[in-house]
Amino acid sequence: TGSVETQNVTCVPEFHLVGFSEDPALQSLLFGLFLSMYLVTVLGNLIIILLIISDTHLHTPMYFFLCNLSLADMGFTSTTVPKLIVDIHTHSTVISYVGCLTQMSLFLICGCMDDLILTVMAYDRLVAICHPLHYQVIMNPRRCAFLVSVSFVATLFNSLLHNLILLPVTCFKAVEISNFFCDPSQLLNLTCDDTFNHDIVIYLIGIVFGFFPISGMLFSYYKIVFTILRVPSPDGKCKAFSTCGSHLLVVCLFYGSGLGVYLSASFSTSPRKIAVASLMYTLVTPMLNPFIYSLRNRDIKRALQRIVNRIS
């Protein structure tokens, strides 16, 4: 039970997540809302992936990375939201110990993959705008595959590191997790072990998956803006800015919502407010990404039009 401060995992093989509401009428509304948003997210990202795979005009480095971003977004949302929908439907917020660690592992893989792919996409835009004559040579298929592979291996290592810390743990301070999914930071805070080592791990992960990617993107856009400002033609400047506008908007959404979760966890003691903030980057941002790239991208629009004409 939640009143017990310290319990052995062998005795309590489950955790309790945060529910959004206990009102039956509101739960029905939330069930329909979250289910609709999840289906839109999966369908939107799936359309982007299928368009890029089926249309040869989109077989370029930029769209190769976009395809991987959509795949990571689908996995990111599918790791947390289906469990939330089932919890609302069954009026239960219980998750097993094994299920919690599995969800945490997949969440880390997909979330960090999102982070690193956005960084790689910033590098791609840097090469395209600052070194256009050497773009095809620098961003060759082998290098693109290498960048995605390194990103994936890094996310696997991060997930493995968390599991190596949590698997030997035999006791937790409580079984209530202040979120609607198994948040890695929440799980680390619930352990009875010395938190000093956990804090070191969290800081190192923050540097690798926070400081380095953000620094890389800031440097990329510094070089991009510096290069664009030297373009004499106003039309040339607008065209250059338009090629990275969608990416910049997605980056702001991703890191802005992540910052919102961090601030809500730091200044709010309400688990429900933290869960609402977490919903922004686990569901809302992945849902908006396909619309951002499709509405602002002529190539995606043309590819979609070709598919529609082919079907009709």
The answer to whether residue 173 is domain-embedded is yes
The answer to whether residue 286 is domain-embedded is yes
How far apart CA 84 and CA 183 sit, in angstroms, is: 13
The pLDDT, as a whole number, for residue 279 is 87
The pLDDT, as a whole number, for residue 195 is 67
- Domain of residue 55, residue span: 14-304
Residues 136-180: tens digit of each pLDDT: 999 999 999 999 999 999 999 999 998 988 888 777 777 888 888
Count of domains observed in the chain: 1
Q: Give a three-class secondary structure readout of the chain.
A: CCCCCCEECCCCCEEECCCCCCCHHHHHHHHHHHHHHHHHHHHHHHHHHHHHHHCHHHCCHHHHHHHHHHHHHHHHHHHHHHHHHHHHHHCCCEEEHHHHHHHHHHHHHHHHHHHHHHHHHHHHHHHHHHCHHHHHHHCCHHHHHHHHHHHHHHHHHHHHHHHHHHCCCCEECCCECCCCCCCHHHHHHHECCCHHHHHHHHHHHHHHHHHHHHHHHHHHHHHHHHHHHCCCCHHHHHHHHHHHHHHHHHHHHHHHHHHHHHHHHHHCCCHHHHHHHHHHHHHHHHHHHHHHHHHCCHHHHHHHHHHHHHHC
The pLDDT, as a whole number, for residue 176 is 85
The answer to whether residue 263 is domain-embedded is yes
The answer to whether residue 36 is domain-embedded is yes
Low-confidence ranges of the chain (pLDDT < 70): 1-12, 193-196, 265-266, 268-269, 296
The answer to whether residue 9 is domain-embedded is no
The answer to whether residue 135 is domain-embedded is yes
How far apart CA 98 and CA 105 sit, in angstroms, is: 11
The answer to whether residue 4 is domain-embedded is no
The pLDDT, as a whole number, for residue 265 is 67
The answer to whether residue 97 is domain-embedded is yes
How far apart CA 4 and CA 15 sit, in angstroms, is: 13
The pLDDT, as a whole number, for residue 121 is 95
CATH of the domain at 28: 1.20.1070.10
